[in-house]
Structure 1
Amino acid sequence: MAFAAQRPWIQNATLRDNILCGHSMDRKRYDQVISACALEPDIALLPAGDLTEIGERGVTLSGGQKQRVNMARAIYSNAEMVLLDDPLSSLDVHVGGHVFESGIMGLLRECNRTVVLVTNQLQYLQHADVVIVIEEGEITHRGPYNSLSVKNQWWSRQFILPMDRSTDINNIEEERALLQKQINLKRGSKHANGKEGPDAGVSSGGENFSVGERQLFCLARAFLRRSRILIMDEATASIDTETGNKLHELLTTAFADRTVITIAHRVDSILESDRIVVMSKGKVVEFDTPNNLLDDKDGVFSSLVLASERGQTTL
């Protein structure tokens, strides 16, 4: 079995060695994997190509690059079963769509390999043979994609985006109450110190919590500090749609008078921003209001939104 973890495992070795991981080199298959994982442009920028040494834990690579190297290793392997734990969360809609179509649906499915994909991105569910919905550690639905319906409470909640901005937060106690209501941390489960809920112990690096839960911890800490400037770097990438919607509502109310800088690949999470900066290969390619960027039908941001909408409308 091959496993691509939610937190990419990267060796202090060359990029090529990280992908081969002890397997012999099959140039044709290797090139197919590099292309499927959209690593060609990244390799072209590295000083020694795929023979470039990657620092400890991949410090010389971005989060998206590490995730794609992680994916490439799993795809290149000969394992009959491939477990992918939310591997597309750090990728933008174009790159994520390419990796899904060429890597997962292409190199993996076309070779009749069993793929278990853990994801919060609903646009990929329609391609699954079986969809398993897990809520609070329990399976609440199991069946083919077309068995999901509006009668399913979890499915219905994924498409409701709270937009009520009438909440008026007058003091820190009200904000704390709203935060407790909006961010649903693990309930009823014991952790490192044997305690439950907010008193549960957190082990070194937060290893006893999922990546999504750790993101919620970081967000809660940032929210409660009441800083004038809040910077969120892919802060909701590993969070499910329902929780992401609640966080969106919190930001538009509790932080209406604050400066919020959001770094994100999910375009739906930044559509209500005052200004949007679009970057490509380390350079600013677009900067304007969301409406002006959307009016440019040939623009980069407009194409990202269109690709995202196409993915959602297929649901």
Structure 2
Amino acid sequence: MPELPEIELLKREIEPKIQNRTVLEFKIRNHKLRWPVPDHLPKTIVNQTILKCSRRGKYLLFHFKHGVQIIHLGMSGSLRFIRDESPGKHDHLEWIFNESIILRMNDPRKFGAVLWHDLENDGKLYDNKVFKNLGLEPFSTELTDQYLHKKLSNKKKSIKQVLLDGHIIVGVGNIYSSESLFKSRINPLTPASELSMKNCSEIITSIREALCDSIDSGGSTIRNYVNTNGESGNYMKNYASVYGRNGLPCNVCNSKIIKIKQNGRSTYYCPICQNLDKKRSSNLNI
């Protein structure tokens, strides 16, 4: 799944090419994504100008005067600028602009979504149901040590699970939560409520470092992610210390990286650098 850095990169790549451009045509080849693509969208956005692009968590937003198109790439979706290429089996949606600019959405697993928020009838954008339970952005000035410590104080789940659910901090997906906890030297099984203020400070710093590293290296490609030119990201090659490295030596202490499952998701960590007291670990809910 494209995570926050990948969506931020897409926003930065797409916006200069489509900002202040008018949508000449919006093609829907398949309505059946995670949620049905609204039938009215071709009429609603055609001959309308995209004022800007933005991002909230893992959602990409196209802002029009009268509403906002909300785009999520799901597990395997991608957005690419194309020229005259014939659409393939999984090319479901297409934005066509002047000067032969065409943006195409491909989604083999059809877990993505393209929704519409009408600014006049649907209220404030971030009151939309898809945003209501999202936590703070990782780079928000509101994300402080005190804020995080207070939010974690009653959480019995492991810190890895809390980071993944996105209700406190949004967009820290599986890759970057594993990497951030390694940077912080915090075991992913640690109950969130047991973390100190110092731990919270280290986690915030590490999350921001991991996300910045990923953005600087073009994102992370595990399976499907490519940028708008079809190029893969290099984060895993250049920066990953634990994710995807099961059985390989830790870059710090040379012990073997371990892979476990937490709520069905793979977690990678170093048992030495991220040591957890054995007496407590047997009682943790993973």
Q: TM-score, normalised by structure 1?
A: 0.23
Larger strand proportion of the pair: 2
Higher RCO (CA-CA < 8 Å; seq separation 6+): 2
Larger helix proportion of the pair: 1
Q: TM-score, normalised by structure 2?
A: 0.25
